[in-house]
Amino acid sequence: MPYQAGYPQAPQRVTVQPSLTSGTATASLVLGILGVLGGWCLFGLPCILAVILGHLAMRETRDGTRSGHGMAVAGLVLGYVFVGPMILFTVMVFFGSVLSAATPTP
């Protein structure tokens, strides 16, 4: 084996840059959780926003350049499950207050 002069070659490092997480997917998940925990006092607005942002995030993560598909799905599920009861609660509160104000007191 012939002698090689100089220093041994350093091992080469391969770095893989992770894909960026979709901000809309994160926002959808956070708003879905907020809708579950306190959406009744915000009249279902976080649930509606979670659904809208979840659909936008699904479109954004479709091609695989951004991660966060699971967060988008979770935000959509939380939003859809709780948007109906929150809207029903809002309608009941609104019409209940309107009807109680219109009812004459004896």
The pair of structure tokens assigned to 40 is 């009744």
Name the residue type at position 89: F
Q: Residues of 80-93 as b/e, b for ≥16 C-beta within 10 angstroms?
A: eebbeebeeebeee
Does the pLDDT value for residue 26 go beyond 90?
yes
The pair of structure tokens assigned to 103 is 């009812």
- Please write the tens of the pLDDT for every residue from 89-102: 878 888 887 777 76
Distance of CA 52 to the CA centre of its chain: 9
Higher pLDDT, 28 or 39: 28
- Please write the tens of the pLDDT for every residue from 52-99: 999 999 999 998 889 999 999 999 999 999 888 887 887 888 888 777
Distance (Å, whole) CA 47 – CA 50: 5
- Whether residue 84 contacts residue 35, with contact meaning beta carbons closer than 8 Å, is answered with no
State residue 65's pLDDT score: 85
For 8, phi then psi, to 5°, come to -70, 150
